[in-house]
Structure 1
Amino acid sequence: MYNPPLPTDGSQASQGASMGPLASNFGQRAERHGNERIRLLLKSFGLRTSLIRLKVIDALLVAAENDRRLGVRGVHSQLLDLDIPLSFLSVREVLKRLCTEGVVIYNADKSYSLHPQACAVLNAD
């Protein structure tokens, strides 16, 4: 039996004849759908997808859902709590780049939040 290699770019593998109709749904997590939304957001702003951008934006989304704002340290701490080993400097640089591109806003209280236009892109279904 031949097992084709899994794709590394996030696309679905083609299904062979031996795979059932539910095989494409097996192992697919809700997080994948969230990542897909964030990927579309980054693409709409002309940015490439990277793991650190996905995680930083996800951390900001979780904070917004809980009516909180996070600064660089807050985002970094949240990522460390999730066992995502990113350096403080990397998180800071990603937040600065996302601000430059208009995805994120730097607030007066030194916290970050998603730009209303970015929220509109995420909520568009």
Structure 2
Amino acid sequence: MYNPQLPTDGSQAKHGASMNTHTGDFTPRGERPGNERIRVLLKSFGLRTSLIRLKVIDALLVAAQSNRRLGVRGVHSQLLDLDVPLSFLSVREVLKRLCAEGVITFNADKSYSLHPQAAAVLNNE
């Protein structure tokens, strides 16, 4: 039976991507347009963009806006609440790598926050 929503050339429709109407390109579902500034931040530190890095930095930014500080468990819990299925170990390793590269800092209370230099890059956007 003919379904107008399916491609007629025999190929499978792509799932997990949606049309971004303001730029006319395809972006992964669940990714906010504000992530572009995080991409610029990662690039300025010489890091490749990955979904887990975007989500971890976004979680830290959201917490900072609410005057909260998150440790590894807090970041992991926040990502699980957003239906981002990442393991605790993956989150911990990303946080360690971002610390090593100077994007975020590990505080005395075992929480993480954006490094002042990284915050300056984000605020210049």
Q: TM-score, normalised by structure 2?
A: 0.77
**Which residue matches 1:74?**
74
Structure 1 residues 111 and 22: alpha-carbon distance in aligned structure 2, compared to 1, 3 A threshold: closer
Structure 1 residues 68 and 35: alpha-carbon distance in aligned structure 2, compared to 1, 3 A threshold: same
Give 1:23 deviation, angstroms: 7.8
Give 1:22 deviation, angstroms: 6.9
**Which residue matches 1:64?**
64
Aligned 1:1-125 pairs, distance under 5 A:
24=24, 32-125=32-125
State the alpha-carbon separation in 1 of the partners of residues 87 and 46 from structure 2.
25
**Unaligned residue ranges in structure 1 (runs of 5+):** 3-9, 14-20
Structure 1 residues 22 and 63: alpha-carbon distance in aligned structure 2, compared to 1, 3 A threshold: closer
Report the AA paired with residue 57 of structure 1. I
Give 1:80 deviation, angstroms: 0.2
- Report which of the two has the higher share of strand: 2
How large is the RMSD of aligned CA atoms in angstroms?
3.2
Give 1:92 deviation, angstroms: 0.2
Structure 1 residues 119 and 22: alpha-carbon distance in aligned structure 2, compared to 1, 3 A threshold: closer
| Percent of residue pairs identical | 78
SS in 1 for 2:32: helix
**Unaligned residue ranges in structure 2 (runs of 5+):** 1-7, 9-16
State the alpha-carbon separation in 2 of the partners of residues 120 and 38 from structure 1.
12
